[in-house]
Structure 1
Amino acid sequence: MASLCSFTASSFSSQCDNVSLSHPLKPSLPLTNSFTLPRNMKKKKSGARTRPLFCAFKNAALQYRNIGDSDLNISEITLGTMTFGEQNTEKEAHDILHYAFDRGINALDTSEAVRYIGVSNETSYGVMEFVHAAKVGGLPKIVSIQNSYSLLVRCRFEVDLVEVCHPKNCNIGLLSYSPLGGGILTGKYIDINSEAAKRGRLNLFPGYMERYKNLASREATIKYLELAKNHGLTPVQLALGFARDHPFMTSTIIGATSVDQLKEDIDAFTSTERPLPAEVMTDIETVFKRYKDPAIF
């Protein structure tokens, strides 16, 4: 079921200048010593130089994109917060937030003040209807779509949403969730009796993301784990590198129950060869042809 959603990016301004483009990648941004939180941020006139919402620290190698045709310039990683209050203590949540900001993440998937609107789990028809309604009614246009996208869930976006959301068409930014398939693609659930599996949310919350636990998803995951090993990659590097490298990806939403887990995810974005080698992508497509969207719901 599709729903409207709000999206918040940290509204920090600084002394760093950068050109605001619609979708192209931006390099990591230099360190600045002062940050201010403005009450309002106005759109710059066409051709003017704009300031990024966040200037990353020197050890961050994340890249940045604008969401759709908005002026929100966000990191290629968005921090999900679903585990906060359920699998994380308040202190652990604060530690995760501090680490994320220190590494250059400036976008949170949570409920805050609304600056722009987007949709979630939407279809191509739904996206076009929202865009049309905004146009004829003089209403704010949606700028983002939050849909699942991973090695195990691809077709719904790749088949037609990618065309609708393209910058030259409706210009809707994809904020993909579950790039690790709820943790399945890390391989920790292959041995259901392992400590990692027992602590995982798919076991803590019966019925949650059940689609990733079916036989086809398990078989596909094993193939991707073997593929990663053959190419000298960790399962996390393969899965997140795959999501990261697609030109239609604005930002990938990742959740973490510990700083160590978040560090592994961020490192997968920043240290894995960009883009993934052609031979890796070829092997991914070979597995995909055998297991097309085994976790589709």
Structure 2
Amino acid sequence: MKHHFLGHTDIKVPEICLGTMTFGQQNTQEQAFEQLDYALERGINFWDTAELYAVPPTPQSYGSTETILGNWFAKTGKRKQVTLASKIAGPSQVGGHIRNGQTRFNKKDISRALDNSLKRLQTDYLDLYQLHWPERPTNCFSHLGYTTQMIADTPADLTPLAETLIALNDEIKAGRIRAIGLSNETPWGTMKFLQLADELGLQRVVSVQNPYGLLNRTYEIGLAEIAHFEKVGCLAYSPLGFGVLSGKYLNDQKPENARITLFPRFSRYTNAQAVWATEQYAKIAAEQGLSLVQLSLAFVRQQFFVTSTIIGATTMQQLQENIDSVDVALSDEVMQLIEAVHVQQPNPSP
């Protein structure tokens, strides 16, 4: 398995990262422990979580994923074998159960959120701490385009990005985080954080965790170029589009206990355009003697701007297939076939 540096740091991570957002909702602690043990055995020692998790977010599931990970660290004593990433939730997108809905990216809230994450995770530091989504209203979570309504909804007391960056750097100085990253961020936001870090002599962000896969390649517009020139790589989440790119939802199937079956709110990858594209990618995979999962994950992994691909699974069989995809390399011919579909139906589920 290949490894890449996180941005400009000396932190090396494998090309596959274990996503954990189902732990505490679709997966029990026992099932999560089995996944964690197996992932580490396979060399997947880069794990991503968030204070928001488990997903879907509810007051009851809040923090449960970090708690499960913390229990695993306490049981195994293997914290130092893992590169651990978590995130602070911003003031929008979820209900008021996180700090009464008043969470902002200021020093007070960052310190408080980090305090609680470290307690749940039973550790005294994080390798990567990320802003889960921008504090300002912008085009993330399946929305393309920056609108006048977003401008109107921007609060007057928005935390200045410089203040956020200084607060995060204070935590680096305190030894509580090693590096900082962004998530669901735009090219403007990414470049602004980089500009401010250079102007203020602070540590730069090292990664942007955004959706990226065959059904959503919007990262290529702006952020891929930033990744190349600024060494801020993509941590690609939803590479399988909530499982849609496993093919299990084709022909109107609704598999029992599957995520979209259980939680229809995650149906952003099931519109008519996405279904058509998924069918075409499935045909390409079959012609190449590959599963659709193998094709989809290999495509993401081969992009020059991707530092690591975040995989998530609810069963051990899914986890094994996802990890096994590292042995698949797509030829130039296959990549051209994929591109031909993309040209006909670009980004059907942004």
SS in 1 for 2:308: strand
Corresponding residue for 2:210?
147
1:173 counterpart = 2:233:
yes
Checking the alignment, whether the CA contact within 8 Å between 1:82 and 1:255 is kept in structure 2 is yes
Q: CA deviation at 1:138?
A: 2.5
Q: CA deviation at 1:139?
A: 2.4
Q: Give ranges in structure 2 of 5+ residues lacking alignment.
A: 50-85, 87-117, 119-125, 127-176
Checking the alignment, whether the CA contact within 8 Å between 1:151 and 1:179 is kept in structure 2 is yes
Q: Provide the C-alpha distance between the structure 1 equivalents of 2:281 and 2:343, rounded to a whole number of angstroms.
A: 13
TM-score computed with the length of structure 1 as normaliser:
0.74
1:219 to 254, 276, 294: 276
Alpha-carbon displacement from aligned partner over 1:133-154 (angstroms, at most 9, x marks no partner):
1122232210000011101111
Q: CA deviation at 1:236?
A: 0.8
Checking the alignment, whether the CA contact within 8 Å between 1:147 and 1:175 is kept in structure 2 is yes
1:123 counterpart = 2:192:
no
Corresponding residue for 1:57?
none
1:278 counterpart = 2:341:
no
- One-letter identity of the residue aligned with 2:22: T
1:293 counterpart = 2:328:
no
1:200 to 258, 279, 297: 258
1:159 counterpart = 2:221:
yes
Greater RCO (CA < 8 Å, at least 6 residues apart): 1
1:64 counterpart = 2:3:
yes
Q: Could you tell me the percent identity over the aligned residues?
A: 46
Q: CA deviation at 1:206?
A: 2.4
SS in 2 for 1:147: strand
2:17 to 73, 78, 92: 78
- One-letter identity of the residue aligned with 2:39: A
Checking the alignment, whether the CA contact within 8 Å between 1:186 and 1:235 is kept in structure 2 is yes
Checking the alignment, whether the CA contact within 8 Å between 1:150 and 1:239 is kept in structure 2 is yes
Q: Provide the C-alpha distance between the structure 1 equivalents of 2:208 and 2:263, rounded to a whole number of angstroms.
A: 26
Q: Which moved more, 1:73-82 or 1:182-191?
A: 182-191
Question: Greater helix share, 1 or 2?
Answer: 2
1:252 counterpart = 2:314:
no
Checking the alignment, whether the CA contact within 8 Å between 1:145 and 1:172 is kept in structure 2 is yes
Corresponding residue for 2:247?
187
Q: Provide the C-alpha distance between the structure 1 equivalents of 2:278 and 2:287, rounded to a whole number of angstroms.
A: 14
Q: Provide the C-alpha distance between the structure 2 equivalents of 1:193 and 1:216, rounded to a whole number of angstroms.
A: 17
1:268 counterpart = 2:328:
no
TM-score computed with the length of structure 2 as normaliser:
0.63
Q: CA deviation at 1:259?
A: 1.6
Q: Provide the C-alpha distance between the structure 1 equivalents of 2:346 and 2:178, rounded to a whole number of angstroms.
A: 37
Corresponding residue for 1:230?
287
Q: CA deviation at 1:170?
A: 1.6
Alpha-carbon displacement from aligned partner over 1:225-246 (angstroms, at most 9, x marks no partner):
1111111111011001101111
Checking the alignment, whether the CA contact within 8 Å between 1:121 and 1:145 is kept in structure 2 is yes
Checking the alignment, whether the CA contact within 8 Å between 1:67 and 1:143 is kept in structure 2 is yes
Checking the alignment, whether the CA contact within 8 Å between 1:182 and 1:202 is kept in structure 2 is yes
SS in 1 for 2:47: strand
Moved over 3 A (4+): 191-194
Q: CA deviation at 1:120?
A: 0.7
- One-letter identity of the residue aligned with 2:310: I
Q: Provide the C-alpha distance between the structure 2 equivalents of 1:238 and 1:135, rounded to a whole number of angstroms.
A: 39
SS in 2 for 1:243: helix
Corresponding residue for 1:51?
none
Corresponding residue for 1:87?
26
SS in 2 for 1:250: strand
1:102 to 18, 41, 62: 41
Q: Which moved more, 1:199-208 or 1:284-293?
A: 199-208
Checking the alignment, whether the CA contact within 8 Å between 1:192 and 1:198 is kept in structure 2 is no
SS in 2 for 1:212: coil
RMSD: 1.2
Q: Provide the C-alpha distance between the structure 1 equivalents of 2:253 and 2:281, rounded to a whole number of angstroms.
A: 21
**Matched length:** 226
- One-letter identity of the residue aligned with 2:312: G
